Amino acid sequence: MGLFSDPGDAERREKLKQLEDKRLAFAQLLANKGFKPETMLFAQTPNGGFTALANFGGKQWLIVSPGLGTDEDFRLEIQPRFDVRKEEVLVKSEGMGGMLGFGKKGERGVDYVFALPDGTEAHLPFVFGRSCWAEYGLKKNPLLGLKRRRGNANVVWDLSPVDNAELDNIIRLADSYLA
C-alpha cells in the first residue's frame, strides 16, 4: 500500500474488475447470438448501472446492467414489442435552485418503465438534473467490445448528463426506438 493509498480504493478497483468481467462475458454472449445493432440507446439508472435499448432482427432488445458492487448480473430481454409506460418527471427547484449551495436543483424529463415478462420493471430514465445518456453506433459501443476496457472502466462513465436544451430531442429519439 502506497503512501497516498486509500484502503477503499482497492475495494473499488476490485468491484470495477468484477463488473468488467461480467460485461466481457455478456458481450461474448451477445456476439454468440449475432447481436450487431446499428445503434443503441443508453441511460444511467439510479443504482449506478444502465439500461440500453436497441432494435435488431425485427425485435426490441432491452439490456439492464448491474450496479457497481452488486451481486446482480446483466439481464437481456428480447420482445417483438415491450409494454412500456411513459412517466413524466417534474421536480421544481427550491430556494436558489442549487446555486451557491442553497436550495435544490429541479428535475425534468421522462422515465420509460418497461413491464418485463417475470413481472418486474426496468427503467430507462432521461431526466435533466439526475441521469446520463448516450446513443452509440456499432463501432463505438462500449458494451459490445470483446476486449477489456482500459482500467476496467465502467460503461456509465462514457455517458453524458441529460442536457435540458436537448431533452425534447432525446425523448423523440427514445420514442423512435419504441415505435
Using an 8 Å Cβ cutoff, are 128 and 167 in contact? yes
Higher pLDDT, 106 or 128: 128
Per-residue H/E/C for the chain: CCCCCCHHHHHHHHHHHHHHHHHHHHHHHHHHCCCCCCEEEEEECCCCCEEEEEEECCEEEEEECCCCCCCCCCEEEEECCCEEEEEEEEECCECCCCHHHCCECCEEEEEEEEECCCCCEEEEEEEECCCEEEEEECCCCCCCCCCCCHHHCCHHHHCEECCHHHHHHHHHHHHHHHC
Average pLDDT for 115-139: 95
The 10s digit of each residue's pLDDT in 140-152 is: 999 999 998 888 7
Mean pLDDT of the chain: 90
The 10s digit of each residue's pLDDT in 32-80 is: 999 999 999 999 998 899 999 999 999 999 999 998 888 899 999 999 9
The 10s digit of each residue's pLDDT in 73-105 is: 999 999 999 999 999 999 887 765 555 555 567
pTM for the model? 0.88
- Categorize the per-residue pLDDT at 170 as very low, low, confident or very high, splitting at 50, 70 and 90: very high
Q: Which residue type occupies 160?
A: S
Using an 8 Å Cβ cutoff, are 90 and 105 in contact? no
Write down the pLDDT at residue 96: 58
- Any idea where the domains of the chain sit in the sequence? 7-84+132-178
- Categorize the per-residue pLDDT at 6 as very low, low, confident or very high, splitting at 50, 70 and 90: confident
Residue with cell 426506438: 177
